[in-house]
Homo-oligomer: A and B are copies of this chain.
């Protein structure tokens, strides 16, 4: 894929508040400030890199309004409210080039059961399988080797990457994007212990995924024991995440890679769950909570909590404990010393 944006193309895309300097370079790539070459675009997305702008060889730099420096010769500064968002807008154009809108229709190698419905504007790629009763909405894109089970629904404008599995009865609303290897609707992990064996508790509910949800590669979402496992509108889930049966996740949450949410847990809107974090089941995590990476949550969290550690504690307290941890061996020695001192003192005062 060859990029070639003129200064004018970039200006049209980012709609800057103002500009300084000029460049005739053709933009062929993007790079961080420090490593950028002529012919590349860069940006100041994080104030801590401010000092690097002056030395950057990037032909175009996206900057926040307050930046005071001057561009080099053949360098263009574009001032925008949020350079990171502006760059995202340029990248969105690149993304269209990287992933051009596929031709609609069903690939000859796909296996479509009688009774499956595919909207005329949808694209069903090579070697996909659609079972009876499956429904694929308008402009939906099943890239390749995707499986859609019986009576499952793929909403309008969904994008399913290669190898995605949607099990029977599960529902994706509009604009859901699932990366390669995501499994929606595997059985929940439920057994009754009867006569020395684990007898399976059938899992006959479904998974329902709200509009504008994105889920990362090889993540797994279990179907409910009955009723539904739910992921709310606009929530974004990273790679290798496990969502257990009967979990209900609110809207606009961020769930980082390798996190796991145990069965029947309720997660409020706007919650952020850091990396690998274990959570006991049947919990309620209130709206706007932040759970730091590697935090074990064992109790309900009130809205707005920020917790860290195992078991999870308020963030400030956990930070304080983490500062003290390396001093624990010293604390033991100090208590040894105190005991010895006190014994001496008692002896001498008894004398």
Which residues of chain A have a CB within 8 Å of any CB of chain B? 1, 29-32, 82, 84-85, 87-88, 91-92, 94-95, 98-99, 107, 109, 111, 125-127, 129, 144-145, 147, 149, 151, 161-163, 165, 167-169, 179-181, 183, 186-187, 189, 191-192, 194, 196-204, 212, 214, 216-218, 220, 222, 225-227, 234, 236, 238-240, 242, 244, 252, 254, 256-258, 260, 262, 274-276, 278-280, 293-294, 296, 309-311, 313, 317, 320-322, 324-329, 331-332, 334-335, 338-339, 341-342, 345-346, 348-349
> Which of A183, A222, A236, A280 gathers the greatest number of chain B CB atoms within 10 Å?
A183
From B82, B197, B204, give the contact of A91 (CB < 8 A): B204
Q: B239 and A222: CB pair below 8 A?
A: yes
A-B contact pairs, 19 of them (CB 8 A): A1-B168, A29-B227, A31-B226, A31-B227, A91-B204, A91-B226, A98-B169, A126-B129, A147-B180, A161-B167, A165-B181, A200-B214, A217-B222, A220-B240, A258-B258, A262-B275, A275-B278, A294-B294, A327-B332
Residues of B within 8 A of A98 (CB): 168-169, 204
A342-B30 Cα distance, complex, nearest whole Å:
64
Whether A325 and B296, one on each chain, are in contact in the complex, defined by CB atoms closer than 8 angstroms, is no
A257-B326 contact, Cβ under 8 Å, with A214-B200, A220-B217, A275-B278: no
Q: How far is the CA of A10 from the CA of B151 in the complex (A)?
A: 25
Residue of B nearest to A112 (CB): B126
Indicate how many identical chains form the complex: 3
Closest to A311 in B: B322
Please determine whether A257 and B242 come into contact, CB atoms closer than 8 angstroms: yes
A328 CB to nearest B CB, Å? 5
Q: Provide the residues of chain B in CB contact with A129, threshold 8 Å.
A: 125-127, 144-145, 162
Nearest CB of B to A225, in Å: 7
- Give the CA-CA distance A284 to B149 in the complex, in Å: 41
The answer to whether A169 touches B127 (Cβ under 8 A) is no
Are the C-beta atoms of A257 and B275 separated by less than 8 Å? Answer: no
A sample of 19 more A-B contacts (CB under 8 A), given A240-B242, A335-B335, is A1-B169, A29-B226, A94-B202, A95-B204, A107-B111, A149-B162, A163-B181, A165-B180, A179-B183, A187-B214, A189-B236, A189-B256, A197-B212, A294-B296, A294-B310, A311-B322, A324-B332, A331-B332, A345-B346
